[in-house]
Structure 1
Amino acid sequence: MNRFLCSAVLAVVLVACSASPEPVAPAPPKVGVLTMVPTTVAVQQELVGRLAPFRSADVRARVPGVLERRVYREGSDVAEGDELFRIDPAQLQAALGSASGAEAQARANAANAKSAADRARQLAPTSFISRSDLDNALAAERSAEAALQAARAATRSAQINLGYATVRAPIAGRAGKQQVTEGALVGQGEATLLTTVDQIDPLYVNFSMSAEDFSRIRAMPLERDAGAGRVEIVLPDGRVHDQSATLDFSGDVVDPATGAVQLRAILPNPERRLLPGVYVTLRATLGQQAGVFLVPQAAVLRDANTAYVLVAGEGDKVVRKVIRTERAQAGQWVVSEGLAPGDRVIVSGVPKARPDAVVTPVPWTPDATPDSPARPPAGAAQAAIPGTGTGAATPAAPASNDDRD
């Protein structure tokens, strides 16, 4: 009997050991998602421009003579009308004296002619003077008056030329290097260049944009009043200049040599730290685009034809959505079509997601992974595009405790 019981127990144990456990289905993979919220972003273009003076005037010798001295200090700021050079005035003074003497003679001749004409007018009614003599007297008076006017003009011209012996700044700005040394003969046959004065407050920023980009931006339904035309200047050392430029000129002609459209902005330069001729990187705001979505670049995938994203849809099932990307901006893609408010775009863990597969969505932040999601502090916002004042998107709703398991 004992032997029979032992055999039965052994058989039960062997059957129990030979039965395999039921396989356990793997848990859906965790992915980081970002809930899409439509926002308004600034339409910006990063371009390269060159600084140029607001006004630039060549200072030239307008009268012939020997350059006596330079009055200003090279590279200094001068005001309009400040004396810069002096030209030997001796020859010009002599010319003025000669013109003044000719004017005095013309004035005397005019006075004599007027007296003769007045006598002829008095005698004309009495028939003591012929009509021919009267006409001659009146003609002499008119000729003498004309000669006097010419003499006065010659004197005024000589005075002006003498004034040009003192060369003054035509505009306010920074005077450049002296081009001619003292003792040189200037203004002989041509207006000799002496120096250049550049107004560097404000400055012009000259840059260009491809005709394709220019046409595309003009065709966008943009809000032109909200910050449009603002240009930030990035200096060669990477710093952003504390003064912003304002777009003031936009050409409508495409340069056939470059295929680009010329643009220009005005940049305040009160401390005169920036100098003309420097190449700078600029960030031009051309308007505000409303109703778009900002998607991290890691979430945007591409195939041979389109760009698309993976979305955690109804029942946490992965859905493929084709999108239209406008441009990259601040590490994100600006998406104008293909997404709807509330879509949960998969940003991290994308390789684990497959269309129609079920996933476990958890909130995504830039410094988090799907396995260790980091939630932002209460009240914190996503990084905003400069100039918009709005966040890119808000995180998805926190996952339940069951999902986190």
Structure 2
Amino acid sequence: AAESRVGYTGSDLARAERLIADNAVSRRDLEEKQNAARDAGAGVQAARAALRIARLNLEYTSIKAPIDGRMSRAEVTVGNLVSANGGPALTTLVSSSRIYAAFDVDEQTFLKSVNPARDTKGATLPVHLGLADQDGHPFEGRIHSVDNRLDTTSGTIRVRAIFDNPDGRLVPGLYARIRLGAGTPREAVLIDDRAIGTDQDKRFVLVVDAANKTAYREVRLGNLHDGLRIVEDGLKPGERIVVNGLQRVRPGDPVTPHPVAMEGSAPLAAVTTPQALKTRI
């Protein structure tokens, strides 16, 4: 209708402009027709602006996810009224293709491992992650960012790592264990946790001597490696220890040894000792 009015007023104005030369119409009639033509043109512009707004509002009725991810439950179902201003969220969407894990490292670890990797161009510090139901750290990632200052209260600095998550096994909020760095390979004695006893705040094993008698031996333990515990001090390669029935044997008791295989890797193996941490993803 607005465009038709523009055509009508335009034709009427053109006719008046031809007649004004012969003084067939008054100057006032000509000015009225000019004003009518301008008013019709403004009406067309207003109608076009209203059309653009209507199309934009129509686009807002189609909700599209800005990212790929996993959607939570629908908070609003079909038939309910939704509002663009302050209404309830329809749902929540979490991107799961990559997962971030933030954790704190102490000052010594930062100076020894994290900082040198940042200063070396092209160098990366490996970060491995394991979930609560996993023995190892099967997920490998890399450091994404390091905080710009040390927390003087705790003596730690915040580090953020990123992990690829193509199969979606890593879910935000899960408890996770972090292993930072690859460490330096070295030989170490590995034993099953079943062979380790607790004496208040100490850890010990029962060593079987050449006379097949047991002896109390305090040990200092390290991290797990392929399901076995690293013995940092107190046990030498080749020594025999009690694995099964530790609670029924006392130091000095004679025993009849029956060799058993340790579950995991060899009792003496090349291992690494990276920094172990805990966090949530």
Report the TM range for the smaller structure's normalisation: 0.5 to 0.7
**Residue 277 of structure 2 corresponds to residue 383 of structure 1:** no
Contact 2:125 2:142 in 1 (8 A): yes
Contact 1:224 1:288 in 2 (8 A): no
Change (3 A) 1:256 1:294: same
**Residue 254 of structure 2 corresponds to residue 367 of structure 1:** no
Q: CA deviation at 1:227?
A: 5.8
CA-based RMSD of the aligned residues comes to: 4.7
Structure 1 residues 88-128: Cα deviation after superposition (integer angstroms, max 9, x where no partner): xxxxxxxxxxxxxxxxx332333334334545666677787
Q: CA deviation at 1:270?
A: 1.7
Contact 1:223 1:288 in 2 (8 A): no
**Residue 37 of structure 2 corresponds to residue 178 of structure 1:** no
Query: Residues 152-167 of structure 1 correspond to what in structure 2 (within 5 A)?
Result: 152-167=48-63
Cα distance in 2 for residues equivalent to 1:127 and 1:259: 96
Q: CA deviation at 1:243?
A: 3.6
Cα distance in 2 for residues equivalent to 1:366 and 1:226: 40
Structure 2 unaligned spans of 5+: 190-221, 240-267, 275-281
Q: TM-score under structure 1 normalisation?
A: 0.39
**Residue 40 of structure 2 corresponds to residue 144 of structure 1:** yes
Structure 1 residues 270-308: Cα deviation after superposition (integer angstroms, max 9, x where no partner): 2212211112111233x989xxx96979xxxxxxxxxxx
Residue in 2 aligned with 1:193? 89
Residue in 2 aligned with 1:232? 128
Identity over aligned residues, as a percent?
Answer: 28
Name the one with the larger strand percent: 1
Aligned length: 209
Q: 2:163 aligns with which of 243, 253, 267?
A: 267
Cα distance in 1 for residues equivalent to 2:117 and 2:85: 59
| Letter of the 1:274 counterpart | L
Instruction: Give SS of 1:145's match.
Output: helix
Cα distance in 1 for residues equivalent to 2:178 and 2:119: 21
Change (3 A) 1:138 1:237: same
Cα distance in 2 for residues equivalent to 1:203 and 1:129: 79
Cα distance in 2 for residues equivalent to 1:179 and 1:236: 30
Q: CA deviation at 1:177?
A: 0.9
Instruction: Give SS of 1:267's match.
Output: strand
Q: 1:208 aligns with which of 97, 100, 104?
A: 104
- Larger-Rg structure: 1
Contact 1:228 1:288 in 2 (8 A): no
| Letter of the 2:179 counterpart | R
| Letter of the 2:70 counterpart | R
Change (3 A) 1:164 1:283: same
| Letter of the 2:131 counterpart | L
Change (3 A) 1:113 1:219: same
Q: CA deviation at 1:193?
A: 1.0
Contact 1:295 1:332 in 2 (8 A): no
Structure 1 residues 210-261: Cα deviation after superposition (integer angstroms, max 9, x where no partner): 5675456565488846761422111112334544122222332556886654
Change (3 A) 1:213 1:229: closer
Contact 1:229 1:284 in 2 (8 A): yes
Cα distance in 2 for residues equivalent to 1:163 and 1:115: 38
Contact 1:249 1:265 in 2 (8 A): yes
